[in-house]
Structure 1
Amino acid sequence: MPNIAVAVVGAETPGNVGTIARSMKNFGLSELYLVDPPELDPDGEAYGFAGHAREDVLPNATEVEFSYLTEQFYTVACTATTNEDATKHVRYPFIEPAALSDELAGLDADVCIVFGRERVGLTNDELAQLDRICSIPADGDYPVLNLAQAATIVLYELRELTVEETQHPKQAHERADEHEIEGLHETFSEYLHEVGHPEEKIPKTERLFRRLAGRASPTGREARTLRGVLRRGALVASGEIPRPGTSDPGDEPNQKDESNRENE
């Protein structure tokens, strides 16, 4: 797994540098190199935009010459413009960020992802010295992203190489056990009978519900909650519990007794 650094060349806006530092921290990166950077005032917008990265990534950033990047790293240049083909090789061939992680995974070299200036990006002379071109696919009429936004997208796509453990649980969705799913179907069937669903339509309705549950893949809690709702609906339909908003007839006051009290 390669060590991955980030470099920003000729940034004009301190806030963009701070935002890139924050994105680096979001996605497990810490090594930031700056070529011809703007002044990064600890009380200014760079540190204000950096979030928790103001404590480590940003203050530990190293100012270097452009040649340092080409001498020390396998470099990936990020650019918006790739309107070239096999006859021109300044910005061609290129790779999209989504494919970058797989390509770099087996690389036996330190890697630096290089971003350019806000207005003009990296110059052709700079691109000619870098090893690989990376470009974010966007609308052809306006493909140029904000510098910090572009960096965030690229670093996000590299997370498989740079983030050991995310804030998410190991499973984003845990389907209920089969016995819980089957219990849900049994309860639904009981519900259909209790509410008086037409007998001849029950098998088809049960089948439709099974297909619906199969696509939804409910969690255990969802299955249990649905069973509880269906059970209560069946009890209301059978009259075992009163409908909401109504009271048990046994709880109604006796009108004759009330009249007698008024005449006492």
Structure 2
Amino acid sequence: MAETVTITDLEGGVRLITLNRPQKKNALTGAMYDAMREALAGADASENIGAVVFGGQPGMFSAGNDLADFMGGAAGGFSASPALAFIRQLARTRTPMVAAIDGIAVGIGATLSLHCDLVYASPAARLRMPFVELGLVPEAASSYLLPLRVGRLKATELLLLSQPLNADEALALGLVNGVLPADMLLEQAIAQAAKLAALPRGALAASRALIRGDQAQVEAALEAEARAFDAQLRSPESQERLAAFLSRAKPASSA
């Protein structure tokens, strides 16, 4: 069986994290979250890795959580989930991160990019954050980071009304750095990551911290969301919405 997350260390100090579950539109399982978390932690601990790139399959970045897998392991709630462990690591990772988004990026597939230092998209990119639709709340500090990027009113459309964004709209809002043909997308992301990896490490780390701002605020928002997510996950309205979603047996998606 093929690995659902492939970790490849490339020349130039770049670690490529590839989501490799195309039959489920790269919907994320607990094992996939663990693999990505370990890859990020390992990058921070390595003297050889200077940047990380997130990529998916042609035409699909990630449909978000695999809800069947998530609900099957949800006895301990969101607070004990591999998803939250990954999100915490994502927010704390010191190694620069770059995302290459081709096709769908739903839920965490979209909010993951808010933590990346550079984001590139193909014309087929579609970002959507349907948390409230499922009786849940935003995660990955998106309730804090997204309003900073696009303003409160636009963030309300995206987070409460689950308004989808295409690549050009994401570019106009400053959520991606550029839109490239699909066959050039990953090459560009890796090239930019290699440029970051080649910079003086101390100056890069200090500059990155200045650009990103107050890390404590990000982590505080992340933890507040986690508590609210956990409470909502146990609520009747969320249980009803999630059960209805799963009963429709859609191929993939979500929070």
TM-score category, normalised to shorter length:
under 0.3
Higher strand content, 1 or 2: 2
Considering only CA atoms, is the larger Rg found in Structure 1 or Structure 2? 1
Q: Which has the higher contact order (CA 8 A, sep 6+)?
A: 2
Higher helix content, 1 or 2: 2
TM-score by length of 1: 0.23
